Amino acid sequence: MSAKQAVVIGASGGIGAALVEALRDENIATRGFARSFAGADHIDLEDEASIAAAAASLSTAPDLVIVATGLLHASERSPEKSIAHLDPAWLHRQFAVNAIGPALVAKHFLPLMPRTGRTVFAALSARVGSISDNRLGGWYGYRASKAALNQLVRTASVEEKRRNDRSIVVALHPGTVDTALSRPFQANVQAGRLFDTGRAAVQLLDVIDGLRVIDSGKLFDWEGKEVSP
């Protein structure tokens, strides 16, 4: 990869940890942050102060930042099967983690990225966040929060282009990866379409490496194909 300094937010998760490992295997200096980490490596997407502190702890400007976080279900909550299952507290938390949190990471980390040369800020999104591709319904909070993330990414890309005309700000769909997030829903995954975390990380980094400036603001899947909004 062309990156020299990388940051991974959500580095304790399945995809995040694999991204850190893959980047370091490429001899790219990589800093990982996660909610479960202590000290200077701690970050909580529901606490802007911790995001600001994490950004302030960087000693070198990163040219690659990846937000590898997401919330689909929790011990007490499953994705909504119908509108009757909507709960405002659960919707709020999904938006906090899936949309607002990554946007706040962009708020604090984008200004630290170089003003010249190629830079990439990528946030993990999901194909189900595509409004035009929604044919099954359900999963209200996850779909809506990921759709919001895609719009936030698009909007940030426009602003960042004014600061650095070679910047790339994108959303990425990693496919179905064998992690805790997808585990309850893997039974219906097509053969060969459930990726282990190591493969998913390499696929995502390959997509990032192939991105062009004109790709900024868009959503791409793990094969590098653009997903319609």
For the segment 136-152, the average pLDDT, to the nearest whole number, is 96
Residue from 67, 59, 155, 154 nearest 112 by CA: 59
Longest dimension (CA), the chain: 50
Question: Is it the case that residue 214 has pLDDT exceeding 70?
Answer: yes
pLDDT in tens, 11-25: 999 999 999 999 999
176-177 and 194-195 beta bridge pairing: parallel
Q: What tokens were used for 163?
A: 């600061």
pLDDT score of 195: 86
pTM of the predicted protein model:
0.93
Secondary structure tally for the chain: helices H, strands E: 6, 8
pLDDT digits (tens, 9 = 90+) for 34-48: 999 999 999 999 999
pLDDT band at 189 (very low <50, low <70, confident <90, very high): low
What is the separation of C-alpha 48 from the centre of its chain, rounded to a whole number of angstroms? Answer: 17
Q: What is the pLDDT of residue 182?
A: 63
Residue 61 clears pLDDT 80, i.e. is over it: yes
> Which pLDDT tens digit goes with each residue over 94-131?
999 999 999 999 999 999 999 999 999 999 999 999 99
Q: Could you say which of 3.90.550.10, 3.20.20.70, 3.40.50.720, 1.10.10.10 is the CATH number of the domain covering 5-221?
A: 3.40.50.720
128 DSSP 8-state letter: G
**Confidence (pLDDT) at 176:** 84
Predicted confidence band of residue 203 (pLDDT cuts 50, 70, 90): very high
